[in-house]
Amino acid sequence: MSFKELGLLNELLKAAEEEGYTSPTPIQKLAIPLVLEGGDLMAGAQTGTGKTAGFTLPLLQRLIQNSKNQNKVRALILTPTRELAAQVGENVSTYGKYLPLKSTVIFGGVNINPQINALRKGVEIIIATPGRLLDLISQKALDLSSVEILVLDEADRMLDMGFIHDIRKILAILPQKRQNLLFSATFSPEIKQLAASFLKSPKTIEAARHNTPAELVKQLVYPVDNHRKKELLSFLISSNNWKQVLVFARTKHGSNRIAEQLNKEGITAAAIHGNKSQSARTKALLDFKTGAIRVLVATDIAARGLDIDQLPHVINFELPNVPEDYVHRIGRTGRAGNEGEAISLVCIDEHKLLQDIERLLKKKIASATVPGYEPDPSIEAQPIPNGQNRRGGHRSFSRGQQLFHGKGADRNNPKERKRPF
């Protein structure tokens, strides 16, 4: 099947073809016709499946075919992180370059005045994180009364990050008559509860089974002692001459230390996490995409939304505390039909986390030792800080569930607001 068979405009087909896309992915085949019909949609799609184009292309078409309310905000796309907002914004600009539609990206961590100026000039599409969007609304710099289409992208991550109160406030501001599109990697009870609160007779689609990594991702575990992980990481990158590697670490400080060590050993690297300024995060991501650096070291903030073409290698320097995050991490590679490799460096402390991940995947991950880096059998497992919680590595209840019952982060409490995003 080609994009042309989905009924897309020639302007959109031309833009997609220029990016090298002629055939839709499974989620695009399902989502595009349903969005074009104008009804509400609840879509289950993991990262890396092409879901962004799955809603961007038909959204642009619906706006151009219904050209009323020009220069008013007619489509709102909400994302959990700055990086994802920026990437979705790039997609909107790329696919819509032959259409007379204006868009802008809004997120925190940067000066608000340029965003206000962009809104004053008039835009039809806004891609935003919830916190900064509400700031602009409170300053009366933004009018959402003409919104025709709402998209919640990575809805499960938004709940995990404590944005449910912000989402509710935004939903209350929007016009009642609108098309709603919800995209989520998982259909947890909390997601279903959120969907039921604002979707109207939605069609439900899934491109892949829950939490199933792309089949094209080769997964491998390297057992290694914790104190030798940096050494093994450097060895793997150098000996294999890998040019583009995304490394996941558990903490912000850990990310910094790994990047510093790699740079000392002549492997160009940068860290990206919530404590970095937006300009530093943007530069690190751009340098990684263009090959100016070989390694990007990230916390799980980067597990969603990083769209890097043909990324060949993802390395879990440390396993995530929540098994589902493993799926999101390795979803950075093996995207859109390209083969990829996901390697996990696992010390004895993380064996329980590995078991939780394998239980989620319903399979054992292949394991191999690297000569010279065999684990010391005399070392005993130690507790992982902020790792294994009261229920053996799983959340005792999800953040989204907690927030639905009014016990989560209070946006008006500066100590609890999730404003880095």
Widest distance between CA atoms in the chain:
71
Kindly state the tokens that stand for 403: 């927030």
The closest alpha carbon to 308, from 329, 326, 328, 332, belongs to 332
The ranges assigned to domains in the chain are 3-206, 217-361
pLDDT of 421 above 80: no
Question: To which H or E segment does residue 64 belong?
Answer: helix 51-65
pLDDT, tens digit, 9 for 90 and up, residues 29-49: 999 999 999 999 999 887 667
187 CB neighbour count, 10 Å cutoff:
18
Homologous superfamily of domain range 217-361? P-loop containing nucleotide triphosphate hydrolases (3.40.50.300)
C-beta of residue 165 within 8 angstroms of C-beta of residue 410:
yes
Contacts of 374 (CB under 8 A, 6+ apart): 223
pLDDT of 214 above 60: no
- Measure the CA angle with vertex 213, ends 315 and 45; round to 5°: 120
C-beta of residue 263 within 8 angstroms of C-beta of residue 215:
no
Q: For residue 397, what is the DSSP state?
A: S
Q: Higher-confidence residue: 20 or 107? A: 107
pLDDT, tens digit, 9 for 90 and up, residues 165-176: 999 999 999 999
C-beta of residue 60 within 8 angstroms of C-beta of residue 74:
no
C-beta of residue 38 within 8 angstroms of C-beta of residue 62:
yes
Question: To which H or E segment does residue 58 belong?
Answer: helix 51-65
Distance CA 54, CA 274 (A): 28
C-beta of residue 300 within 8 angstroms of C-beta of residue 248:
yes
pLDDT of 403 above 70: no
How far, CA to CA in Å, does 113 sit from each of 110, 116, 212, 346? Answer: 9, 5, 42, 46
**Minimum mean pLDDT range among 261-265, 300-304, 321-325, 392-396:** 392-396
- Say which CATH topology domain 3-206 has: Rossmann fold (3.40.50)
pLDDT of 208 above 70: no
Position 306 confidence tier, pLDDT thresholds 50, 70, 90: low
Same fold, 3-206 and 217-361: yes
Kindly state the tokens that stand for 275: 């404590």
In this structure, what are the phi and psi dihedrals at residue 190, rounded to the nearest 5 degrees? -70, -40
Residue-level pLDDT at 69: 66
The residues pairing with 204 across neighbouring beta strands, listed in sequence order, are 42
In the three-class reduction of DSSP (H, G, I as helix; E, B as strand; rest coil), residue 376 is classed as: coil
Distance CA 36, CA 149 (A): 11
Distance CA 35, CA 39 (A): 6
Residue-level pLDDT at 409: 37
Question: Which pTM value belongs to this model?
Answer: 0.66
C-beta of residue 333 within 8 angstroms of C-beta of residue 314:
yes
Residue-level pLDDT at 275: 81
Give the distance from CA 216 to its chain's centroid: 19
111 CB neighbour count, 10 Å cutoff:
8
The closest alpha carbon to 23, from 8, 40, 38, 41, belongs to 8
pLDDT of 222 above 90: yes
pLDDT of 389 above 60: no
Residue-level pLDDT at 410: 39
Distance CA 335, CA 91 (A): 16
**Ordered DSSP codes for 193-235:** HHHHHH--S-EEEESS-TT---TTEEEEEEE--GGGHHHHHHH
Helices (H) and strands (E) in the chain, counts: 15, 13
Average pLDDT over residues 328-354: 82
Kindly report the average pLDDT of the chain as a whole number.
84
Kindly state the tokens that stand for 30: 């399902």
pLDDT, tens digit, 9 for 90 and up, residues 131-161: 999 999 999 999 999 999 999 998 988 887 8
Residue-level pLDDT at 278: 76
Contacts of 407 (CB under 8 A, 6+ apart): none
pLDDT, tens digit, 9 for 90 and up, residues 358-388: 998 888 999 999 999 999 999 988 888 654 4
Distance CA 157, CA 134 (A): 19
